[in-house]
Amino acid sequence: MEKQIIGYIVGAFDLFHIGHVNILKNARKMCDYLIVGLSTDEWVKKYKNKTTAIPFNQRKEVLMACKFVDSIVPQEDFDDFKMWERLKFDIMFVGDDWKESERFKGLEEKFNKIRIKIIYLPYTKGISTTEIKKKIAERGLEEKNEE
């Protein structure tokens, strides 16, 4: 029997949108089983200094309804190597907006030694949770000014 390829991807996946669908779909095409490291509300607050629009448990439910996701684990820090030790994934998928970042340069070196691949997937241009929140706020101001 052939070994199952396990993939891993992390993110907040707040205000789930087409960019999230694209990255999950592309990741799932390259593995047999996809695990999502879903950032906890506390972790998002700590590293982004932002509050999620959707609480962790609801974001988890949305992701579990996505056909590309096989399981979800909470992400509480940036220690992806520790997560590999726990999950033993074969490939880590990352948005290409992180390529060349200090975080992933160091991780690539560690993963290369144990033959774990990091694959950078294209970021969907023009869409992000931050952009969606900004548009909602702008529309709210427009509507308020029309009154």
Three-state DSSP at 103 gives: helix
Residue in 66, 81, 4 with CA at minimum distance from that of residue 36: 66
The active-site residue out of 25, 50, 117, 133 is 50
Nearest 10 degrees: CA dihedral of 129, 51, 107, 117?
-40
The active-site residue out of 29, 45, 48, 134 is 48
| Active-site residue, 50 included | yes
User: From CA 75, how far away is CA 87, in angstroms rounded?
Assistant: 12
Q: Give me the residues paired with residue 1 across strands.
A: none
35 contact partners, CB below 8 Å, separation of at least 6: 6, 7, 8, 9, 70, 71, 72, 73, 87, 89
| Active-site residue, 48 included | yes
Residue in 108, 128, 127 with CA at minimum distance from that of residue 118: 108
Chain centroid to Cα 9, Å, comes to 5
Catalytic residues: 48, 50
